Structure 1
Amino acid sequence: MAELPDENRATELRNAVVDQLKEGGWIASPSIEAAMRKVPRHLAVPEASLEDAYSTYNAVVTQEDAEGIHTSSVSAPQIQAMQLEQAGIEPGDHVLEIGTNGPNAAYIAELTGPAGRVTTVDVDPAPADRARRFLAMTGYTNVSVVVADGEYGFPDHAPYDAIVVTVGAWDIPPAWTDQLKEGGRLVVPLRINGLTRTYAFVKRDGQLTAASAHVCGFVAMRGDGAHNAQQFTLPGDEGVTLRFDDGVPVDPQLLIGALDTPRVETWTGVTVASNEPIGTLQMYVATMVPGYCNMYIDPDRDTGKVGPTNLNFSLVAVDGPNFAYVVVRRSDDRKSAEFGVHAFGPDGEGAAHRLADAIRTWGKDHRGGPAPCIALYPAGTADDRISGDRIIDKHHRRISISWPVAP
């Protein structure tokens, strides 16, 4: 069989992606299906192969900084479909996209139709130029591409029926709420204690409450909304670094000498199937366990003494001069895994059991249940005006987190 021409091949791959997303439940709306079948996303990334441009679950990185950190990308179709479903965009809507590269703005333009208006902003002129070229090439004339810091939205075209943020945000600045219509939706990949979920917040009486949340990964926000986690490297030869994304809960200097103590191990009896989602466990530990942070171990310095399941990421609870972290051991047939805890410090045994008890609570009360209820309040709101199991403070917001018990 002769090789198909490129455009025919692109159409074939595009339709295959949409078919896969429909089958996986990521696309439910006929309008989103039609938009994603129509927009030729490969034209935005001419440097990529057609197969890479139409990879269902992989982004195409379009820009890196001098250290190799990704600073711009065209998100994977699965992520884009997920956010578009969350946004609930209707014909005639005015929509702001924060973070641009072209195809997602075109999808939004398809959803709003000729009566709608789409504004897409980026702090960096390079992706804005890329988006501008792509949109001109593909005929989307109702999209305004603006070079601006998304931290401040874009008041010139406000108010918006929806704001879709396509960069990872650590906080929710006031402009995003102020520029959103009552009843409008803010879709944003928000990082809470180092874990990112794309939330669909609905504005009711001026307050934002999450209606849905999905696991995701995004290029980090730049400009005035950028945020760097604080890091502490433990003394010793093991190359252990702890990352505190929402502030250091205790003096990390207390941990000096922790690795000189024996490693404590305990197992929880909480076992999950290999294909069982555990996103709520990660969020439960990150939001409900005091002293939460995550751990990275330099693979070139790893001695095996600490022994995490993943050198790049572990869920950690710092408890004074002790720290404990979640580990996993798989069954012999690889069909299930049990959660356990390792700990170091003068009271490593107590620290291990406290973290293990939190995992057991998740297993008993929240496993298989809904995601936590997330509500946003302005910074400075008094505790007695906020309901929830836990409050996490950002610069602009106080985030209320409540965990419903699973049926």
Structure 2
Amino acid sequence: MTQLETADHGALRANMVRALYKEDAIVSEAVAAAFTAVPRHRFGPDLSLEVAYDLHSVLPVKKDEHGLPISVISAPHLQGVMLEQAAIKPGMRVLEIGSGGYNAALIQELVGADGEVTTLDIDPDVIDRARRYLDDTGYDRVKTIADDAETALAGLGTFDRIIATVTTWDIPPSWISALAKDGRLVTPLTVCGTTRSVAFERDGNDLVSRSYRLASFVPMQGKGAAPDRKVMLRDGVALQTDNEQVPLNTAELARALEGDRLEKWSGAAYDMPDELDWFVTLNLSSPARLHATQDVIASGLVEPSARLGVAALVSEDSIAYRTRRTNPDTGTAGFESGVIAHGPQAEQLAEQYTELLREWATDYLRRGAAIIRYVPGAAPSTLPQGAARKRHGYVTVAWV
């Protein structure tokens, strides 16, 4: 490597750290020092330095037969957020679930010479690649394991921190057993199709959140993979849910979508869309996520809110979902939230949805209002509103 190349990546790394501070992705000197120390570009050698040090760029690790990513090194912005959530201290024993090498190197910087880092991935190719780049960059003390995280933790002892860098639909019992008494688990938890990076700590037999942030990761593979109920209502329009009790009557819902359209406006402010989406998703009585391609949105059939997925309320023959319109009278954001509904039950669904939009704007228009609790073990036959059933337990979300 030439001196010029060294200077280039050093400057880009320093710029990245300053930008992470500016966006509040990092707030501590320890995490900033880790990002400053680890040469991110060495873990994605086929990419330009500009891409490697871009705040929101992921580094591809492995793709499937269709060219879709099944393993990536997450964007620095998200890695910074999760490392701050984890609050890793020198001397700790840390497990990373989902490996790319770079994040494990950051963790090694944080735990120091007296700490221990293990990175685990189900894919031997991914682990072999991580091992190679960790050794090449001087992080040979990081332990690497190829195994299924659903069951692999049983013989690894306890950890002060467990960080998952893949989307988790549930929290296996082995993860809870492997978490030290005063430990912390940071995981991108999916509830009803929407994901948040949640920092959990023990609360008796349960886990309770200390913070949560918007997140997006590749899905967990193996025994912990999420159940996936997905139907196509027409080309470019999909409806998806992991709740077995939500009806997905494809023919009736497709017919509803093509029929008359009801608009209902809440009079409430539309702001902080990620928090709003989290609230309505967990409080709708029959939630799913509506996705639409740009072509369908451009045709006017579906609102732009569905481009990246929007919380929908569905019945056997009707569907309602959130939208917005300009209205400077509703607050500083200048938008009013509303609902688009289709089908014979459009009025009833729209009314239920708009009531939630008003409740959000009146009582919870702020960040961090949710307390997320994971309760392991058998779930009751009837769950309260704002709860979601999982394989090994259930999740409840309270709004305070």
Whether TM exceeds 0.5 here: the answer is yes
Q: In the alignment, is residue 400 of structure 1 matched against residue 399 of structure 2?
A: no
Closer/same/farther in 2, CA of residues 69 and 371 from structure 1, 3 Å limit: farther
Corresponding letter in the other structure for 1:264: L
CA distance in 2, matches of 1:278, 1:329: 13
Residue 338 of structure 1: aligned partner: 336
Q: Aligned to 1:92, what secondary structure does the other structure show?
A: coil
Q: Deviation of residue 103 (structure 1)? A: 1.1
Corresponding letter in the other structure for 1:345: G
Closer/same/farther in 2, CA of residues 239 and 113 from structure 1, 3 Å limit: closer
CA distance in 2, matches of 1:43, 1:352: 51
Residue 374 of structure 2: aligned partner: 376
- Computed over aligned residues only, the root mean square deviation of the Cα atoms, in angstroms, reads 2.3
Corresponding letter in the other structure for 1:288: N
Q: Deviation of residue 311 (structure 1)? A: 4.5
Q: Aligned to 1:5, what secondary structure does the other structure show?
A: helix
Larger CA deviation: 132-141 vs 39-48: 132-141
Q: In the alignment, is residue 316 of structure 1 matched against residue 312 of structure 2?
A: yes
Asked if the contact 1:317/1:323 (under 8 Å) is kept, the reply is yes
Residue 148 of structure 1: aligned partner: 147
Closer/same/farther in 2, CA of residues 352 and 4 from structure 1, 3 Å limit: farther
Gap regions ≥5 residues in structure 1: none
Q: Aligned to 1:142, what secondary structure does the other structure show?
A: coil
Overall identity of the aligned pairs, in %: 33
Q: In the alignment, is residue 289 of structure 1 matched against residue 284 of structure 2?
A: yes
Asked if the contact 2:379/2:389 (under 8 Å) is kept, the reply is no
Larger CA deviation: 57-66 vs 79-88: 57-66
CA distance in 2, matches of 1:68, 1:347: 41
Corresponding letter in the other structure for 2:351: H
Larger CA deviation: 17-26 vs 213-222: 17-26
Which whole-Å deviations, capped at 9, do the CAs of 1:145-199 have from their partners, x for residues lacking one?
Answer: 1111122243343210000100111111111101111010000001111111100
CA distance in 2, matches of 1:70, 1:209: 31
Larger CA deviation: 82-91 vs 307-316: 307-316
Corresponding letter in the other structure for 2:241: F
When normalised by structure 1's length, the TM-score is 0.90
Which whole-Å deviations, capped at 9, do the CAs of 1:80-130 have from their partners, x for residues lacking one?
Answer: 111111111111111110011111101111111111111101111122112
CA distance in 1, matches of 2:209, 2:324: 31
Asked if the contact 1:177/1:206 (under 8 Å) is kept, the reply is no
Closer/same/farther in 2, CA of residues 269 and 164 from structure 1, 3 Å limit: same
CA distance in 2, matches of 1:382, 1:239: 37
CA distance in 2, matches of 1:331, 1:22: 33
Residue 325 of structure 2: aligned partner: 329
Aligned runs of 1:5-404 on 2, under 5 Å? Answer: 5-234=4-233, 239-250=236-247, 252=249, 255=253, 257-259=255-257, 261-272=259-270, 276-298=271-293, 304=299, 306-312=301-307, 313-330=309-326, 336-382=334-380, 389-404=385-400
Which whole-Å deviations, capped at 9, do the CAs of 1:176-232 have from their partners, x for residues lacking one?
Answer: 101111010000001111111100000233321110000011111111111242012
Corresponding letter in the other structure for 1:277: M
Corresponding letter in the other structure for 1:361: E
CA distance in 1, matches of 2:249, 2:298: 22
CA distance in 2, matches of 1:301, 1:195: 22
